[in-house]
C-alpha cells in the first residue's frame, strides 16, 4: 500500500484514484484504454451527464461498488457529503453559462485517510465556492481548461490562483470529439505549483 493516494490520469476528464488503503475510485469514465479500467472499482463518481463523463459501463465493479452521480450529489440545491472507510466525498459547485447547468453539475473534494485532499473541478467556470476552497489547503486540484465548453487556460489559472492548492493540474484540455489531451493548451495553464499529467501518467497526492 502507498503512504498516499495515487492519481492516475486516464485522459480527458477521466481519472483513477487508488487510496492509501488500496480502494479504487474512478471519476468521469470515458477516455483511455481497456487496461485503464481493469482494476475493479470501489466507487465511481460522475460529475454530470454529458457523454464524455459518464461511461460507467467501462468500469469493472465489485458487488459492493457504489456509484455517485451528480443527481445523487446535488438535490434541491443541497450539495451532499458521503463518508466511506477509505475517503470522504464532498460535492461542490460546478457549471457555467455555456453548456453546463449549475443545477445539474458538480465538482468533488476528496479527503483521504492521511488528511490529503483532491479537488476535481468538473466542467465549470469560476464559482463562488472557490474562494472558500482556498481556506481548505487543498493538496492537489484539477482544473478543466478546454476553452470551448468550459473556461480557457487563462481563467483556469485565475481559478487555480484563487484556490491555492499545493499542486494544480490542467485536465479536460480540449473538445473530446477532437482529442483527449491538448499539450499546447495545457501549457498555457501556468499558476504557481502547476503540474502536468499526460494520459497514462500518475502522481501521489501529497
pLDDT of residue 97: 85
Residue 4, pLDDT score: 95
Q: List the Cα angle 118/48/98 in 5-degree steps.
A: 105
Give me the tens of pLDDT residue by residue for the chain, a chain 206 residues long: 678 999 999 999 999 999 999 999 999 999 999 999 999 999 999 999 999 999 999 999 999 999 999 999 999 999 999 999 999 999 999 999 878 999 999 999 999 999 999 999 999 999 999 999 999 999 999 999 999 999 999 999 999 999 999 999 999 999 998 899 999 999 999 999 999 999 999 999 99
For 157, other C-beta atoms within 10 Å of its C-beta total 21
pLDDT at 138: 98
Strands 117-120 and 140-144: what pairing?
parallel
Amino acid at each position: 500500500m502507498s503512504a498516499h493516494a495515487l492519481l492516475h490520469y486516464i485522459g480527458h476528464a477521466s481519472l483513477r484514484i487508488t487510496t492509501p488503503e488500496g480502494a479504487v475510485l474512478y471519476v468521469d469514465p470515458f477516455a483511455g484504454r481497456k487496461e485503464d479500467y481493469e482494476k475493479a472499482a470501489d466507487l465511481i463518481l460522475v460529475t454530470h451527464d454529458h457523454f464524455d463523463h459518464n461511461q460507467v459501463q467501462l468500469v469493472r465493479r465489485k458487488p459492493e461498488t457504489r456509484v455517485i452521480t451528480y443527481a445523487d450529489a446535488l438535490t434541491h440545491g443541497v450539495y451532499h457529503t458521503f463518508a466511506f472507510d477509505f475517503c470522504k466525498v464532498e460535492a461542490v459547485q460546478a457549471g457555467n453559462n455555456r453548456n453546463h447547468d449549475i443545477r445539474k453539475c458538480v465538482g468533488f473534494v476528496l479527503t483521504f485517510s492521511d488528511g490529503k485532499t483532491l479537488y476535481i473541478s468538473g466542467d465549470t467556470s469560476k464559482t463562488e465556492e472557490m474562494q472558500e476552497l482556498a481556506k481548505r489547503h487543498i493538496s492537489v486540484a484539477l482544473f478543466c481548461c478546454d476553452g470551448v465548453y468550459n473556461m480557457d487556460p487563462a481563467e483556469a489559472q485565475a481559478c487555480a490562483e484563487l484556490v491555492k492548492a499545493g499542486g494544480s493540474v490542467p485536465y479536460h484540455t480540449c473538445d473530446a470529439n477532437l482529442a483527449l489531451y491538448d499539450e499546447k493548451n495545457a501549457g498555457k495553464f501556468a499558476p504557481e505549483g502547476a503540474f502536468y499529467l499526460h494520459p497514462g501518467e500518475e502522481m501521489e497526492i501529497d
